[in-house]
Amino acid sequence: MERFKIEIAKDFNDKLGGRWIKLGPFSGELFYNEVLKEKYQSAMQENEKLHIYLDGTKGYGSSFLDQSFGELSREFGVEEVYKTLIFHSKYFSNSISYIVEEIWGKR
Amino acid sequence: MGKKITFYALYVITMLLCVIFSRFLYEKSWFSVLTVSKELVPFDVFSLIVSSILTFWLAWFITKRLTEQRYEKEYLISDLKIIEEDINKIEDSTTEDESIELQKLLNNLNRLYSNITRFSKTMDAFEVQNFEVQPLRKCYNRLFTLLTDVDGEYLLINDVNRHEINQLCSEFVLTARKMVFEINKR
């Protein structure tokens, strides 16, 4: 049973925007502020993993990924975030690779 | 080209020298010391049958293997051509307008990534050795970053990033073509 999870398409939106709140809806900044950060902190407090489900959306831009998952690693540290988050996706393995390899620098 | 002509010229000269030398030996009756037995023994028949069977089997095996290799190469090359077409479509979409919706770019990039993954899995299925798909993935990541690093919902195209996009797409296409040449040479 996953106590802490985010299904981005259901918990946020299926059509995602760019980087900043002021420049468009459903941005990475909004996702980080309203969904990701809070859930991450809750999972950390309970010493649990946070499961992220990527499927169901229309795709992820690099700016969205950087302003959400990148910002999370900048605030809380790459190692901690890398240990805590577990990604699930059938259709967006490229986005997962991008986050882990390009944004977090884990190769 | 020059090397090929030299090779063929040497080949012809060598054959001519062999013919002339054989003729010389014949004139000097050197071949008269050689005798050929005209008696046929059962072992000769058996040996002839076995040699024939082996020759046919070898010819069949080599032809089959060459045909299989040809099919594998054709599949891989056609996958790479599809990847090249996807890259060209993405590049063309950035030359048409001055702003492109992020979602449209993501649709095209997702398709491109799927085709790269398909190519990679086909390579695994054919057990192709010593061949890296990583250069394609690196090019993809660079293009993905350039095209989707947008602050809002649209990618704005100007002369600076249009040039960068063109250059990146060219490198991507060249990487795919190098793979085509490499596969064809195997």
Token pair of B108 as six digits: 């095209």
| Chain A interface test: which of B101, B113, B138, B143 (most A C-beta within 10 Å) | B113
pLDDT of B4 strictly over 90: no
Token pair of B163 as six digits: 């040039």
pLDDT of B36 strictly over 70: no
Longest dimension (CA), chain A: 38
- Residue A62 · residue A19 · CB < 8 Å: no
Eight-class DSSP state of B131:
-
Residue B31: the pLDDT is: 62
pLDDT of B137 strictly over 80: yes
The residue of chain B nearest to residue A101, with distances taken between CA atoms, is B141
Give the pLDDT mean for A76-80. Answer: 95
Mean predicted lDDT score pLDDT of chain B: 87
Per CB-CB distance under 8 Å, the chain A contacts of B145 are: 62, 102
A37: domain range? 5-103
A45-49, A91-95, A97-101, B43-47: segment of lowest average pLDDT: B43-47
CA–chain centroid gap for B21, Å, is 43
Residue A38: the pLDDT is: 96
Q: Does B48 or B82 have the greater pLDDT score?
A: B82
Picking from B106, B117, B140, the nearest residue to A61 by CB comes out as B106
Residue B136: the pLDDT is: 94
Percent of chain A, pLDDT > 90? 93
Per CB-CB distance under 8 Å, the chain B contacts of A66 are: 149
Q: Does B25 or A45 have the greater pLDDT score?
A: A45
Per CB-CB distance under 8 Å, the chain B contacts of A101 are: 141
- A17 contact B CB<8A: yes
What is the Cα gyration radius of chain B?
30
Cα A103 to Cα A66: distance, rounded to the nearest angstrom: 7
ipTM of this complex: 0.86
On the CB side of A75, CA atoms within 13 Å amount to 14
Picking from A23, A24, A59, the nearest residue to B106 by CB comes out as A59
- Residue A73 · residue A38 · CB < 8 Å: no
**Inter-chain touch B148–A102, beta carbons under 8 Å:** no
Q: Does A8 or B35 have the greater pLDDT score?
A: A8
Residue B85: the pLDDT is: 96
Per the structure, how many domains does chain A have? 1
Cα A86 to Cα A46: distance, rounded to the nearest angstrom: 16
Residue B82: the pLDDT is: 96
Give the confidence band of B143 by pLDDT, cuts at 50, 70, 90.
very high
What architecture (CATH level 2) is domain B78-186?
Up-down Bundle (1.20)
Question: What digits encode the pLDDT tens for the residues B75-120?
Answer: 999 999 999 999 999 999 888 778 899 999 999 999 999 999 999 9
Phi/psi for B41 (5° steps) reads -110, 155
| Residue (of A87, A86, A101) closest to B144 by Cα position | A101
Residue A53: the pLDDT is: 97
- A48 contact B CB<8A: no
Percent of chain B, pLDDT > 70? 92
- Residue B98 · residue B156 · CB < 8 Å: yes
> Which amino acid would we find at residue A99?
I
- A105 contact B CB<8A: no
pLDDT of A56 strictly over 90: yes
Token pair of A48 as six digits: 């649990």
Phi/psi for B141 (5° steps) reads -60, -40
The structural domains of chain B, with segments of one domain joined by +, span 78-186
Cα–Cα distance list, A70 to A60, A99, A100, B112 (Å): 13, 7, 9, 24
Residue B135: the pLDDT is: 93
Cα B155 to Cα B100: distance, rounded to the nearest angstrom: 5
Q: Does A15 or A106 have the greater pLDDT score?
A: A15
- Smallest CA–CA separation between B103 and chain A, in Å? 7
Cα B46 to Cα B143: distance, rounded to the nearest angstrom: 67
Question: pTM to 2 decimals?
Answer: 0.76
Picking from A25, A58, A93, the nearest residue to B106 by CB comes out as A58
Residue B107: the pLDDT is: 93
- A19 contact B CB<8A: yes
Q: Does B179 or B45 have the greater pLDDT score?
A: B179
Give the pLDDT mean for B45-62. Answer: 89
Q: In 10 A of CB A73, how many CB atoms? A: 20
* Cβ contacts from A onto B, under 8 A: 60
H or E element that contains A87 = strand A85-88
Q: Does B12 or B32 have the greater pLDDT score?
A: B12
Strands (E) in B59-183, as ranges, are 99-101, 154-156
**Inter-chain touch A19–B106, beta carbons under 8 Å:** no
